[in-house]
Structures are given as C-alpha cells and as structure tokens.
A and B are shown apart, each in its own frame.
Chain A
Amino acid sequence: MNLEKTNTVGLSRNDYIGEPSTLCKGCGHNSISNMIISACFELNIRPEKIIKFSGIGCSSKSPTYFLKYSFGFNGLHGRMPSMATGALFADTSLKGLGISGDGDTANIGLGQFKHLVRRNVPLVYIVENNGVYGLTKGQFSATADYGLSLKRQGQNVYLPVDIALEALAANATFVARSFAGDPKQVKEIIKAALSHEGTAVIDIISPCVTFNNQENALHSYSWGKGHEDPLHEVEFVPPRDEINIEDFSHGEVREVALHDGSTIVLKKVEKDYDPTNKKEAMRLLTDAVKNKWLITGLIYVDPDAINLLDMYNLGKIPLNRLSNEKIRPPRTELEKINQDLM
C-alpha cells in the first residue's frame, strides 16, 4: 500500500491510524480496526467528524488503535450506548462509531443496546463477536454457542443470544453480519453503515485466537471460513461516484439508495435477497440459527427512517457552539415567571 497516497480531503491512510494494538496476534478485532481505517480513508471522512465510543472488554480497547485524530470516549461495561446518545446531541454533523463486544452488548449491555436501536441514534454500532470473555480469560458470553466447551468453564448449557435478531426485534434500521476473516466485506459494510443516518448494527464474528478458536466452534476462523454463507457481494458506492455496472456484469445486482445519495450495490450470489424486507430478514435469521449457518451481508436496511436527532428541532449551529447569550433567557422572562408565581 502506498502510504503517500492521499484522499480528496488531503489525508493519507496514515492519518487514520491509531496507537499500536495491544490485543493478541491474530485477533479478529485487529482486522476490523484495519478495515475501519480503510473505510474512513476511502470515504474521505475527516477524522474530526467522527466520535468513537466503546464499552469495556477487548473490543472496547480497540478504538485507540484507529482514528487517533478523532475524539473518543471509553465508557462503562455495557453502557456505551447511553453515553453516545448524549454526546451525539452536541453536534449533529458528527458521526458516532461505537465498538462493543458480545459480552458488552449481549450480556451486561443488552438493555442499553436495544434502547439505542429503538431510538435510532446515528451511530455505527459494531459488535466484535467472539462468544467469549477475553480480558477475564475465557468465560462464556451470551452469544457462545450451545454445547461449547471451554477450558475452565465446562460446557455451555444456555442457548445463545443472536445480536442481529435482537436488533431487528428492537426495530433496527440497519442490520448486517460479517466475518473478520472476510475483510473486504467488512470494509464495504462499514462504509455503508457510515452513510446510514440511524443506528447501523454490524455483528462481526471475530474469532478469539486465545480462548475460543476450536475447529468446531461457531466463532472460530476455521468454522467461519468453512461455513460463511454470504447473501451477496456487497459494494458501497459513495454519492458522487458513478455505479460501474461493468464490475457486476456476472450476476444480477440490487441497489439500495441511502439517504445521503450513496448506494449499496448487492450482487446476487445464489439467489436474490431483498434487504428492505423485514419479514424476510427475520425468517432468514431464524433459519440461520436453526441450521447453524453463518449468514453474512446486509440483512436489513430501512434507508428512510428518521433518527433520534431529527426529532428534536435542532438548529444548524451545533448545540455545543451556542453562545452564552443563546442559552440564558433574558431577565424579562424571569420577571414574567415571578409574576405568574406571586
């Protein structure tokens, strides 16, 4: 890769990197961080237009490994959604990028996750899902598959939580699933998510090479490589670019126009899948659970849903830039109130 190459905002890929990762070598999360860097670079997003958020866990450490010129806030376990919700009111021109894990989202944070989705907060919400607690050294998370054996935990006797299904049930407006071992797809989905104007949930199966990478385990590289069942090939086309249909000439394509003028182009793999059909998405995910399929791709999108910030009559000037005069009502208003309360 040519590090000198700059994008249309005059930045090189190097301007999007972060500190060196302290996660394990081969961790799926590092690959996702790399794809976040590439996606933002290729989309010509200025780093200061992104705010990073995370909860607690291996995944939640990763926001320091990308976008060092973006503000970020590492919150509490499972409670990043609320923090992001408050912060994003400060300046509606900013895009939120949240990184969570399966424990952070599906265990301690399931409530906040679902309320985030329900409010359609403009936040890309990536779950780096490996079915296991890493920092505390190998306990089951709520997404661990039934019957999984871990060294010091024995067998998992509970059925797993499916993050994509939970998101859909909470009326999510963008739900995707991917696999860290398929970086090209991860990148295209992240790009599409960054253009979506509400909450974009991306459940990325991201194997834990230290605690949960057994050959038969759902969250392992070997399982993912062998069982990934892409719905389509995803290609994200930014607003100003022409869709070059030549690239897709080998199969039928489906286009989904996003609100900002960009387009997600989905190339049919085996059969045509319509990601704007929620019923179909539910059926697909339910079947996937039943049949142990690792379905990847854009599962559901509603490009026109209004987001949380749209509901609050906010002006063009960011709230966090209003002058003191704008935020203190005049003396006459207090006199009126005093009069009313006499």
Chain B
Amino acid sequence: MQKIVNEFSILVSTVNGSGSATANNAVMKAIYKMGIPISARNIFPSNIQGLPTWYSLRISEKGYLGRVDEFDILINLNKTVLQDDVRKLKKGGLILCAQPLLGEFNEEYHVIEMPVDHILEEAQAPSNLHVYLMNMVYVGFLAALIGIDLTFIEDTLNSHFKNVRKAVEPNMKVVRIAHDLVTQPQIRDSSFTLQKREPINDHIVTDGNKAAALGALFGGLQFSAWYPITPATELAETLNEYNHQLRLDPETGKATCVVIQAEDELAAVGMTIGAGWAGLRSMTSTSGPGLCLMSEYLGLAYQSEVPLVVWDVQRVGPSTGLPTRTSQGDLSFSYFLSHGDTEYVILLPGNVHECFEFGWRALDIAEEMQSPVLVLSDLELGMNNWMTPKFTYPDQPILRGKIIREDEISELIKRNGGSWGRYQDVDGDSIPYRTIPGDSNPQAAYFARGTGHDAFADYSEDPQVWQQEHHRLKRKFKHALEIDPEPVLERDGQSKVGFISYGSTHFGVIEACDLLAQAGQEIDYLRIRSIPFQSQVEKYLEEHEQIYVVEANRDGQMAQILMLNYPQYAGKIKKIACLDGLSLTANKIYACFNGQENSI
C-alpha cells in the first residue's frame, strides 16, 4: 500500500460540550511536537451542549495552513452527522467510528470501529466521566494508526491539566488501552502515517485572541473595558488571565493595567474613550454587533481626537448572523463608521504572530495619531490554534505621541507667543499637543466635546472654523501612512496578474498561488495590512493588468474600497469574494480564478 506521509487531513465530529477540545488539542499539539506543520479549526455551533461540533486538522509538511474541505480521515463520535460527514471524505479514506456501521460504507472506505464502552470499562473509568473520556479513545486509536508518539500526548495533557496527575492519568489510561488494541497489522497498516522531523523550535502554537491580548499587555495597555461576545470574549479573558502575571509593578505590587467588564458595548467603548482621553493606553475588544453599538462613540473619539484601539474579531453578520462562523464582513462598516466625515486607521493582521505585533503597535499608532484605531481580526484567526512564529518583543520604545505635562505646557505657551490651544497646529504637522487630566498646570485644562470647536477647544458654530478643523483632521490622518504596517508583497513572479488579499484569507491565497503556478499560471500576490493604503498598493494596481481581490465577504468589500480610492484602476479589479461562514480554501480560490465557480 502506498503511504501518504505527513500530508493529509482529519475531520473529527463530536457532540458540543463533551470536552472534546482536550482530546483535539492533545492530538494537534502532539503532532506539532513531532516537528510536523499542522493547522487546526473548530467548527462549532452557537450552543452550550448537545449540537454537533467539528474539529479539523490539516497536517502539511509543505507548510500549508489554509482550510481544506476534503478529508482523508474521519473520526465520528456523533452518529447524527455521519452521513453528511462521509461526503467530505475522500474515496478510500479512513473512518473511525464509535458504533457499528453495518457495512454501509465498507466498500468505499476503510472503516474501523472503536469499542468505546469496552475500553472505558477496561480503564475502570468512573461512569460520570465517560462522556469526557470517550474522546480519549479516538486519541489512542488515531495515535496507533498514524503513529503519534504517546509521550507527546502525555506532555500535552500534562500541560493542559497543569501537571495534576489525578487528572492526566485517567485520560492517559484510556489512550494507552485504545492504542494497544490496535494491534492487528492490517489495521495498523493505514495509508496515512506520520514521520517525526526536527522539532519546530522557532514557532509556537496559540490563537489570535490570546496573541492580541498579550501584544496589548506588552504594548503598555493600561485600560480595557469589554462586553462578552463570541468570538472576541477570549481576548478579554486572556487579559484577565495574564494581567496579574505581567502587569503588577514589581516594586509596589500594584496594578498597572485595569480590565473591566462593562454592561454593554455602548459602555465598553465609552469607558475606553474616557480612559484614552485621560491618558491611559486603552483598548476594547468586540465583534460586529458590538462594533455597531460603538459607532456613535467612535465618531466622537475621531472628532475630539481621543486615542483608543477597538479590536474587532469578525463573525458573520448582519444581525446575529452566524455568531460562531468567520467572516471579513466588517471592513466596509469600519471604513465608513459613524455619521459625518470620518476616517479611521484600520489594521488587518494576517496571522497570529501579527495579532501579537498589532496588539502593541495599534496602541502606539492610536496615541501618535490621537485617533481611534480599528483592528480587524476574525474568528478564524482569533479562536483557532495556529502554529505561528514566536512572538517578537517590540523593536521600538512605547510611543505616546504629543503628550505634554506641567512645565512643558508653560514652555510651549512661551514658545507659541503666550497662548496654546488643544487643537492648535503648533508644529505645522496638523497633530496638536495633548494634555491629560491631573496636570497641575492651570493652563493644561480644556473641554473636550463632540460639538464644533475651535483650535482652543471652545464651542464654535462658525462655518470657517468647522472647515479649518476638519481639513486639519484630514491632513493629520495622512500621518498614518508613515506609521502603519506596510503591505507585504508575498509573491512576486513579475506576473501581469495579481492577487490582493488580507487577514486570514491569506492562507488560502498563498496556496492558490502555488496551485495556479503548477497549472502554468504564475500570479503575484500583495497582502494589505492597513488602511489608509500606502503607495505600494497604488503601484501594485498600476503594474498589474488584472487584479483579483480575494476576501471572505459577499460583496467584495476590499475591492470596493480599492475602486473608490483608485477609480483609474477600477476596471482592472475583479472580485473573488465568498461568504459561507468558513474561510476560503485554495481550491475555491483556484476555481473562482479559473471561472469554474462563481464567487458572487
């Protein structure tokens, strides 16, 4: 039998709330520890217990981390979805299931039945833990069949259960018994097998929400208000988890960062803006519905020049939509957020490593710009475990922008001819100086507001004053081009055809580039990491005859924004836009590019 080594995919279907995450993660981490690149996805329902949930693993020595929609191995612990799941299995694939299939699929597939009850009995598992421990049966079977090193499974369980033997042992016992049952050579001889490689020492495994929270904590975050919402909740929970470890002043033992759960997103953003205005590096995290509620306050922050970061982990909207599925559908909304003329810096992290980096960088940009910064992550990045390069310590000191205090204010007033205004363009760069509450200099105070105001922060309805202030804001916004993350030319084959993409869609696009190249179509690829667009974007549009903008939304929102910004190139821009709640696969992008499938 021909062996497929280190290049196959697995789909596990279980019942939501049955504790399968422990088993799933153990498998993923163990394979990763064997030095084999792997990516994992949870496809889960909006439910606490009972509905079907899936976990997919893609093992790829070639390093592809994008989603696939056809699998080699199916592990079924939830019979209600078996029929549907089998359709996702490649012909000749392997089925591991907990119940007899009565020969239904035996002809087309390699079916192995796991005697779950028998194994749990043999392991003397307490009956109240059966529902959890049954997941470990599949771990043992799979380990034996594809060759996962059990010591790595045990390592992973040890770190999951914080080395509590009482918790690890019953799980390992089930794993071992199941593993040892797979002794018949014809079963053992599965087509799919793992071969150990050198350990991947320069990577870690974690999710984008955790990365964002850690990035922010290393970025000097001082205040975060939040409200629970899938798929952003874990970001705030990670702040809470690490705040104590990372952000107590070692000398005084006092907190240097405050995390507070608000009563809703209206209040979460209000608190964050209050804190940002008062001189704290502030962030709130949310998803689409929350961002909708925040939009009025963000207009005020733009207008009164308050720095803050809004981290949006996108899910499928509008409305409640598909709350546990991924999308890139908040881009247009973020771009046009709030009424009146506004502009926001938008950062688009494309992997978990960048979630960490943008976590600290966004706080710097917000303070340098004195303006809200929106970061658009998504469920795909935020809630899945990814292998990603190790987090890199910030390579520059914390940037606080033009904050002045006490004596600096007096000096500025002297230098500026005896007066100073909060919104005055003293340096001719359109960025004013900012004072913060608590300053003992009586000249420091000003009254911030969303209403029209002049350079001295005084109320004004004067038409000229309004125009002057808003034109200054427009000029100020251009500074973002200097400090925002630049686009990355991911692939440059000097082709006349190019992809543009961003965020988690990157993983499908980079693989699609290879598929197309293998089929004889060389294609370039630019990954956008921020808005406003830097000059490289225009240059790329200019230099390519056809540009396909690939994204996970229905209407091609990035394509639309590019057309709006560069109408002269609009005719060259084509959309590969697709939204079904799952990330775009390379196959899908390939098919859309070739016109075999319509994306929209």
Contacts and interface: CB of A to CB of B under 8 A. Distances in A.
A209 interface: no
Interface stretch (A85-93, A143-151, A183-191, A243-251): A85-93
Given A329-B217, A337-B391, A111 B263 contact: yes
Nearest to B211: A341
Contacts of B400: 324
Nearest to B220: A327
A91 B277 CA distance: 12
B425 interface: no
B514 interface: no
B448 A320 contact: no
Contacts of A331: 393
Nearest to A61: B459
A316 B271 CA distance: 22
Interface stretch (B4-12, B62-70, B278-286, B570-578): B278-286
B271 A76 contact: no
A212 interface: no
Contacts of A319: 222-223, 256, 258, 280
Nearest to B296: A76
A132 B155 CA distance: 67
B187 interface: no
B469 to A, nearest CB: 16
A94 interface: yes
A318 B300 contact: no
B168 interface: no
Interface stretch (A47-55, A195-203, A228-236, A255-263): A47-55
A321 B436 CA distance: 10
B212 to A, nearest CB: 14
Contact of A89 (B214, B221, B258, B449): B258
Interface string A321-342: 1101011110101100110111
Interface stretch (A24-32, A62-70, A171-179, A267-275): A62-70
Contact of A48 (B205, B214, B222, B438): B438
Interface stretch (B114-122, B244-252, B520-528): B244-252
Interface in B441-461: 441-442, 444-451, 458-459
B258 A91 contact: no
Nearest to A48: B440
A46 B297 CA distance: 30
B582 interface: no
> Which of A87, A315, A318 is packed against the most chain B CB atoms within 10 Å?
A87
A86 B278 contact: yes
Nearest to A111: B263
Contact of B274 (A19, A87, A94, A318): A87
B255 interface: yes
B266 interface: yes
B569 interface: no
A196 to B, nearest CB: 20
A84 interface: yes
A160 interface: no
A41 B600 CA distance: 67
A90 B440 contact: no
B243 to A, nearest CB: 10
Contacts of B219: 328
A90 B307 CA distance: 14
Interface in B168-225: 201, 203-206, 214, 217-223, 225
A320 B271 contact: no
Interface size range on B against A: 35 or more
Nearest to A52: B447
Given A86-B225, A86-B282, A70 B249 contact: no
Contact of B279 (A72, A90, A329, A338): A90
A320 B278 contact: yes
Interface string B216-243: 0111111101000000000000000000
A313 interface: yes
A319 B258 CA distance: 9
B506 to A, nearest CB: 21
A322 B222 contact: yes
B256 A83 contact: no
Given A64-B459, A86-B270, A89-B275, A74 B450 contact: yes
A107 interface: no
Contacts of A47: 442, 445
A213 interface: no
A163 B575 CA distance: 55
A72 B447 contact: yes
B447 A73 contact: yes
A51 B435 CA distance: 13
Contacts of B245: 333
A36 to B, nearest CB: 15
B451 to A, nearest CB: 7
B478 to A, nearest CB: 26
Contacts of A52: 447
A82 interface: yes
B555 interface: no
B204 A91 contact: no
B254 A314 contact: yes
A115 interface: yes
Nearest to B360: A328
Nearest to B438: A91
B397 interface: yes
A68 to B, nearest CB: 7
Nearest to B159: A340
A309 B206 CA distance: 33
A48 B398 contact: no
A75 interface: yes
Contacts of B440: 46, 48
Contacts of B459: 64
Nearest to B205: A341
B393 A334 contact: yes
B255 A315 contact: yes
Contacts of A93: 438
A83 B268 CA distance: 9
Nearest to A313: B255
B352 to A, nearest CB: 10
Given A68-B445, A112-B267, A333-B246, A326 B256 contact: yes
A212 B454 CA distance: 33
Contact of A320 (B203, B304, B436): B436
A342 B436 CA distance: 41
A329 B218 contact: yes
Contacts of A83: 270-271, 273-274, 277
B390 interface: yes
A89 B256 CA distance: 11
B438 A112 contact: no
B275 A79 contact: no
A91 B436 CA distance: 10
A85 B260 CA distance: 10
B449 A90 contact: no
Contacts of B257: 327
A86 B275 contact: yes
A71 interface: yes
A319 B281 CA distance: 10
Contact of B254 (A46, A88, A94, A315): A315
B321 interface: no
Interface in B408-461: 435-442, 444-451, 458-459
B328 interface: no
Nearest to B284: A86
B299 to A, nearest CB: 9
7 contacts: A73-B304, A75-B274, A76-B296, A112-B263, A324-B220, A327-B281, A333-B218
Interface of B: 159, 201, 203-206, 214, 217-223, 225, 245-249, 252-258, 260, 262-264, 266-282, 296-297, 300, 304, 390-391, 393-394, 397-398, 400, 435-442, 444-451, 458-459
The 7 A-B residue pairs whose C-beta atoms are closest, nearest first, are A82-B270, A86-B274, A315-B254, A320-B279, A90-B278, A86-B271, A86-B275
Given A79-B266, A327-B220, 8 more contacts: A82-B274, A86-B225, A314-B258, A315-B254, A327-B222, A327-B256, A327-B398, A337-B214
